[in-house]
Amino acid sequence: MSFDRSVKIAPSILSADFADFGREIQAIEAQGADWIHVDVMDGHFVPNLTFGPPAVKAFRKHVKTVMDVHLMISPVDAYIDAYADAGADVLTAHVEAGPHSHRTLQAIRGAGMKAGIALNPGTPAEAVEHLLDLTDLVCVMTVNPGFGGQKFIDMTAKVRKLREIIGDRPVHIEIDGGVDPTTAPLVVEAGADVLVAGSAVFRGGSVENPAPYGENIRAIKASVAG
């Protein structure tokens, strides 16, 4: 995984057909997805439950791009090796998930993955300031985590602040929640480069009719071009 700040679209398979993940991943990659975003929820840190390491390992067989695993779980550390074994390229934990994010990020890198740190809407940019040398990606939540299809919360000022404190470090800024062709330009202009999108990408398409996936991805990319 080489680093660059070009805009990447990371469809969240939370909006895919849960009975057909393999073909959904193949379809969305064929339609232009840059990364695949996998939302892991534990019914404790967030009020919803999705998949664990064996499911993520099964997804891996179909992912040819980058598997970006977003952990909405607490605690985190006991599961890091399981997600490394499942084949995560990027593993992101929430800074709110426990008191020892520094240790968590060290452990993620130590297990051979890129280390991400996510911030809920109520958490300031400064919460990760002293973690940036251990971090490959900061995920700015633009919804309260737990569900797809929620309304975008404007975190543009936080993105701008992060861009400033990241400086020259090779750290991605990812936006997660409510990204569509209307909201994407706001966050890209502020310095984001990875855009997670669930409902805005999967809307109108299916494994049998995947062309809308491509149209949706291109619409987001066009909204931030130039």
Which residue's Cβ lies closest to ligand DX5? 198
User: Rounded CA gap, 221 and 133, in Å?
Assistant: 29
Is residue 200 close enough to count as binding ligand DX5 by CB under 6 A? yes
Residue 167 is labelled as binding a ligand:
no
State the catalytic residues: 39, 176
Annotated ligand binding at 176? The verdict is yes
Based on the shown chain and the rule CB under 6 A, indicate whether residue 210 belongs to the binding site for ligand DX5: no
Residue 15 Cβ, how far from ligand DX5 at the closest point, in Å?
6
Give me the phi and psi of 154, to 5 degrees please: -70, 115
Choose, by CB under 6 A, the member of 12, 31, 101, 183 that binds ligand DX5.
Answer: 12
Identity of residue 141:
M
**Distance between CA atoms of residues 9 and 31, nearest Å:** 11
Is 147 annotated as ligand-binding?
yes
Q: Closest CB to ligand DX5 among 72 and 113?
A: 72
The count of other CB atoms within 10 Å of the CB of residue 114 is 19
Residue 144 DSSP SS3: coil
Nearest-angstrom CA–CA distance, 46 and 147? 9
Judged by beta carbon distances under 5 to 8 A according to partner kind, the member of ligand DX5, Zn ion, none in contact with residue 91 is none
What residue numbers does the annotated binding site for substrate cover? 12, 70, 146-149, 176-178, 198-199
